[in-house]
Structures are given as C-alpha cells and as structure tokens.
Chain A
Amino acid sequence: MVKSKCLNKNHTGNASSIGLSPLACDLHIHSCLSPCADILMTPGNIIKKALQEELDIIAIADHNAAGNVEVTMKLAEDTKLSILPAMEVESSEEVHLLCYFDKLHALLEWEDIVRANLPEMMNDEETFGYQLITDENDEYIAKEDSLLATATGLTVKEIVDKVTVLDGIVVPSHLDRPYNSLLANLGFIPNDLELSLFELSKNVDPDVFLNKFPFLNDYFYIVSSDSHYLDDIKSYLEIDLYGDLPKRFKEILLEATKT
C-alpha cells in the first residue's frame, strides 16, 4: 500500500532532469458563472491574475455548468497559460466532484448531460447570486437562468461512470470539508468507484488529515485554491507536465497513480 502522496513535482522526473522547472497549477477556480463567486471573476480577470501569479495551468470549474470555459480558452490563446476543461458537479448526494477533460468538446457533451439532470428551478439572484456568462471582450453577455447552486439528479457513481466514458477524470472536491464532500456526505469512499485522486482544500494540513483516515493511503491528492475571489488564485500544486496540454495532464494523473 502506498502512502497517500501529493501529486506534486518530480513524479515523472522528466522535466526536472532536462532542466525545466515544474508547472504551477491551480485547477479549481470559479468564474462569475458560479453564483457564489465574485462578479469580478471574469475569464479575462482570472487570466490576468493567474499570469501575475506565474501559473502555467488553470481550470475554471464552475458549479454544474461550463459556459465560461470556451471563452477562457480563447482569451488564453496568446498567453503562456493553459486551460484545462473542467466543471465542478454536485451529485444527488450533494457531493462536489471535479470533472476534468482533455478536450473542450468532451466537457460540452458532459455539460449537456448535467443540464438534463438539473432540477427545473430558476436562480434567485438575490438569494444565491449572479450567474454570468462573458464574451471575448470580458463583458457580461448573458445570464444563466437555471439554478446552478444545487444538486443534480446524478449519483456519485453515475457521474464517475459517465465522465469516464467521455475520457475524463473525476476528482472528489475538498475531501476534508465537513459538507459537500465525499467523506462528509457518504462517510467513506465507496469501493465501487474508479477513483485515484482526490482534492484537499488549502486550509487543511494534509498530514494531519491523512493520519485520521488511513484508508486514503491508496490515493493521490491535489491541492487547489477553490477560488471565489481574484485574490484567492494561487498555485498550491506544481507538477512536471510537458507536452500536449491538457491531454498530457491526464496521462500524468494516471501515471502518478501507478507510481
């Protein structure tokens, strides 16, 4: 049994050995499409902040929606920043799960499935917040009307299975959190789930947390900012990750689990 390890630098060794430094990642950022995120979290502002923080790869992972991912990818085209297509989906058990894809079209296919499983409820902006979509000029162009801040009708198992079919990877969000996490909501990680990675929030000491749950030793973990405000965006994860991004990202995730 391997001790649970942070999926951090030097897991593949290639980049370091040829004199390159590991890539700085923040793989859990909410844009202004997430009702709980600040309205200044526009793709353009996020990119600007990510470049200031010298990040190499980021993921916009909005709640149950992907409406700002494509525009973020377009805006980042002329920068050194890579955008990993992602979404944070909420299961019927109210577990938050990060879903990463290597292609935008796979994420968009996944978004269609999620949308078909969202309850028919309108967003109440006063109560939950604004759900804004922006254009390539970083201006608000539309509002998402359906309530995104709620559970889909999909179970954790269904989400893992369906994302896997689309060649994506599911990473349970902030496993240490006392709500909306796989551990808090379901008590343990069901053993029929094909999971190899989980996310810890930036607020927890991984060693202290992992000591409490020895059964997590079989997994690797990542740490991301879960940013809702621009000031939160920061690298908590550095990995050797070169080549065709984000395809390579998935390979690294899979390789790391075999280390």
Chain B
Amino acid sequence: MIVGELIESLDLEVVVGVNLDREIEGAYIGDLLSNVMARAKENNLWVTIQGHQNVVAVALLTNVSAVVVVEDFDIEDAAIERAKEKEVNILRTSKTAYEFVLELSELGA
C-alpha cells in the first residue's frame, strides 16, 4: 500500500503531503525520538504524538514513509515548514495510536 491510498482509506488529515507514492511496510509507534531513531525501519509508518521539528530530522534519518500524528496533537509550524522543504509526509488523525493501528491492521498493512 502507498501513503496516498492510506490517506483515502482511513480519512487522514494531510498536514504535509509531498511524497504520497511512498510504499508502506509496517509501522513503528513511539514518542521518544532517540528510540525511534534506533528502532524504526525504512518505509515504516511512524505513529507518534510528537509534533516538534526534530520529528522531521528523525523521519529523514530513519527514512520512514510518513509520520502519523495521533490524538490531534499540535504540529509546530517550524516542523511543517521543514517537512515541506525536506519532503517528509506528515499526516494527522484524532484517533489514539491504538485505534489507528487497529484500523491499519484491518487494511492488511
């Protein structure tokens, strides 16, 4: 599945959608950036409540296909600007990480 299909299937808010053809291979859930840096895999969806601009740096480093900010957490303007510049997809949902991942699982992702 690609990011664009996921957005449509789960009705996600597109905060920054610059690279919607990226493949999704699994997901990693985490809010400690250092842990995500060490554990998230390329083409994962990264599910988090963090909206700090460092999120973009970590997304680039791990090469995740998109960041999904759950529970409608705020995303800093600086993060949005940086994501646009570095072509990192940022999506958002009001669901909790658990609810979101359940739906993701039902999609077979």
CB within 8 Å of B: which residues of A? 90, 92-94, 119, 121, 124, 127-128, 149-151, 179
Contacts and interface: CB of A to CB of B under 8 A. Distances in A.
A150 B38 CA distance: 11
Interface string B17-51: 00000000000000011100110000000000010
Given A179-B50, A179-B52, A127 B34 contact: no
Contact of B33 (A121, A127, A150): A150
Given A94-B32, A151-B32, A127 B60 contact: yes
Most buried by B among A92, A124, A127: A127
In the A-B complex, list the 6 residue pairs whose CB atoms are closest, starting with the nearest.
Answer: A151-B34, A150-B34, A127-B57, A179-B52, A127-B60, A94-B32
B37 A150 contact: yes
Contacts of B60: 124, 127
A90 B34 CA distance: 10
Interface of B: 32-34, 37-38, 50, 52, 54, 57, 60-61
B34 A94 contact: yes
A119 B38 contact: yes
5 contacts: A90-B34, A119-B34, A124-B60, A128-B57, A150-B34
Interface residue SS majority, chain A: loop
Contacts of A128: 57
A73 B91 CA distance: 47
Given A119-B38, A179-B52, A124 B61 contact: yes
A124 B50 CA distance: 21
A241 B57 CA distance: 41
Contact of A93 (B32, B50, B52, B61): B32
A147 to B, nearest CB: 8
B61 A127 contact: yes
B20 to A, nearest CB: 22
Contacts of A94: 32-34
Nearest to B73: A178
- Among A92, A128, A179, chain B packs the most CB atoms within 10 A around the CB of A179
